[in-house]
């Protein structure tokens, strides 16, 4: 099966996803975050650098869960095309939200 090349929008969204996850990771190491999410550190590095622009949903969900990110807020941020870096806050339940 031939894989269809990603569109420029998909590549850009992958870059934004990586930046959001990298920022949310803060001082946590790639190794700790990846192992806690059940993925390899190399996979997390590739996502954070945009080399994996369209990671599988379970992978994104696992990393977001480890980082305490809301998937809804993460998706909204990806679709919003932000002109500024993402900010994270906590909701009333202590869940981190990307804004």
Query: Rounded distance, CA 38 to CA 87, Å?
Result: 25
Give the model confidence (pLDDT) of 26-75 as tens digits.
999 999 999 999 999 999 999 999 999 999 999 999 999 999 999 999 99
Look up the pTM and report it: 0.76
- CATH class name, domain 8-98: mainly alpha
Radius of gyration of the chain (CA): 13
Return the pLDDT at 96: 55
Most confident of 28-32, 86-90, 95-99: 28-32
Q: Per-domain residue ranges for the chain?
A: 8-98
Return the pLDDT at 23: 96
A 10 A CB-CB count for 87 gives 11
Return the pLDDT at 92: 67
Could you tell me where the DSSP H helices lie in the chain?
Answer: 8-25, 30-37, 41-48, 57-67, 71-80
């Amino acid at each position: 099966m031939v894989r269809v090349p990603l569109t420029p929008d998909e590549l850009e969204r992958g870059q934004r996803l990586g930046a959001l996850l990298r920022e949310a990771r803060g001082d946590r190491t790639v190794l700790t975050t990846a192992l806690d999410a059940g993925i390899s550190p190399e996979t997390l590095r590739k996502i954070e650098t945009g080399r994996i622009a369209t990671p599988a949903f379970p992978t994104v969900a696992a990393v977001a869960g480890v980082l305490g990110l809301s998937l809804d807020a993460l998706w909204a941020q990806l679709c919003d095309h932000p002109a500024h870096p993402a900010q994270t806050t906590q909701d009333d339940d202590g869940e981190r939200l990307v804004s």
